[in-house]
Amino acid sequence: MSLLEVKGLRRDYGKLRAVDNVSFSLEAGGILGFIGPNGAGKSTTLRILATLDVPTAGEVLLEGQSLVDAPDKARPLLGYMPDRYGTYDDVTVREFLDFFARAYGLKGAQRRQRVDSVMEFTGLGPLSEKLTTELSKGMRQRVALGRTLLHDPRLLLLDEPADGLDPRARIELRELLRALADQGKAVIISSHILTELAEICDSCVIIEQGRLLAQGRVEDLLRSSGDSSQVTELVVRLAAGAEGEAMGARAERMLLEQPRVKDVTREGSALRVRLELEPGAGPMQAEAAAAVLLAALVAQGLPVCAFSPRERNLEDAFMTVTKGRVA
């Protein structure tokens, strides 16, 4: 049985339908990415899952118990980190976490042990006596995550946890979340940073205008999108100045004349080429079509320094499924 089951979730605000018949499930130890443009219904869905909002219709089960009918029983199993979080002024990291540990009902030695454990896990131990206002954004994000973990929840709901973090802080946050999943916790991450989700999530849900458009692994989303094209990226060496610009334009014109080329995009010194193959075409057909293009470029005297396939990714899946309609 899934740890979390969402069935036919709907949320109306007057005439506005923010969430429209959304259903998905998540197993213990899984990390699910919640993807959609601004206003798609991601945060509303997370607030419902966190029992901070009540659905107009639908059912949410956590370990078989209804979040709607018995929110008080479900809350000890939930850890919610909103997209806008705060820390109190003039308190240390330890004092901040200790305050929330008390709020969660932890007492005495158990509370001190849990605060120490959370600080060690999140790497906050050396900063325990530092004021929260003196921390970097990445470290404040760790404090917020630590607060979410104090009561040892089974399901973590994280709304844009990597927003505004520098590359190092994002990598460290990603490692923490993977460690939590390895402990058996289920994690839902709402984010618009698709590259981050692709590197950490087991599966994804794509919603737009409150409706679920697709769900599954990235490769499953690509297959279900109905886009059978193979993207191949070409890098053409360009001479300096006007000669290089003319050579790039010449290569672009020549590629666009090829029968299977759908479009060509200039990206600096590279040409990104999209080939449209026959439905059901496999890797061998894609390689053969790419070889024809390479031969044509060489025959025209264009100095190709690299020629390789570009793997489709989560951004491709999102743009295909939503058909580019990003708000």
223 domain residue, yes or no: no
**What pLDDT digit, counting tens, does each position of 293-310 carry?**
888 888 888 777 777 766
User: How far are the Cα atoms of 69, 259, 291, 293, 302 from residue 298, in angstroms, in the given order?
Assistant: 68, 17, 11, 9, 6
Rounded to the nearest integer, the mean pLDDT of the chain is: 85
Output the domain CATH number for residue 145: 3.40.50.300
Question: Which residues contact residue 243 at a Cβ distance below 8 angstroms, ignoring those fewer than 6 apart?
Answer: none
Number of domains the chain contains: 2
For residue 225, being part of any structural domain is answered with no
pLDDT digits (tens, 9 = 90+) for 31-43: 999 988 888 899 9
183 by DSSP, 3-state: which?
A: coil
Asked whether the predicted pLDDT for residue 226 surpasses 60, the reply is no
pLDDT at 128: 95
Instruction: Domain of residue 100: give its range.
Output: 4-216
User: Could you tell me which of 313, 105, 91, 125 has the C-alpha nearest to residue 217?
Assistant: 313
Tell me, yes or no, whether 314 lies in a domain: yes
Residue 272 Cα distances to 77, 231, 266, 268, 315, angstroms: 47, 8, 6, 10, 15
Q: Is residue 57 part of a domain?
A: yes
Q: Are residues 85 and 205 in the same domain?
A: yes
Identify which has the larger pLDDT, 284 or 39.
39
Select from 216, 242, 269 the last residue of a domain.
216
Judged against a pLDDT cut of 80, whether residue 158 lies above it is answered with yes
Q: Could you give the CA distance from residue 46 to residue 104 in angstroms, rounded to a whole number? A: 21
Asked if the model's pLDDT at residue 6 lies above 50, the reply is: yes
242 falls within a domain: yes
At residue 237, the pLDDT reads 60
Find out whether 148 and 81 touch, Cβ atoms under 8 Å: yes
Looking at the structure, tell me whether residues 187 and 238 fall in a common domain. no
User: Could you tell me where the DSSP H helices lie in 133-166?
Assistant: 137-149
Residues 168 and 127 in one domain: yes
If asked whether residues 65 and 194 sit together in one domain, one would say: yes
Q: Which amino acid is at 189?
A: I
Is 127 found in the same domain as 201?
yes
Whether 207 and 238 share a structural domain: no
Residue range 64-82: average pLDDT?
A: 93
Residue 292 has a pLDDT of 87
Same domain, 159 and 305: no
Q: Tell me, yes or no, whether 115 and 23 share the same domain.
A: yes
Of the candidates 192, 216, 240, which is a domain's last residue? 216
pLDDT at 218 over 70: no
Same domain, 129 and 55: yes
pLDDT score recorded for residue 243? 60
**Residue 66 pLDDT exceeds 80:** yes
- 224 within some domain: no
Report the pLDDT averaged over residues 60-70: 93
* 192 shares a domain with 243: no
Same domain, 46 and 102: yes
Per-residue confidence band for 25, with pLDDT thresholds at 50, 70 and 90: very high
pLDDT higher than threshold 60 for residue 129: yes
Residues 116 and 162 grouped into a single domain: yes
Specify if 152 maps to a domain: yes
Average pLDDT, stretch 124-133? 94
What is the model's pTM?
0.76
Single out the residue in 187, 216, 245 at which a domain terminates.
Answer: 216
Q: Would 327 be classed as within a structural domain?
A: no
pLDDT at 228: 46
- The pLDDT assigned to 327 comes to 44
CATH number, domain containing residue 313: 3.30.70.100
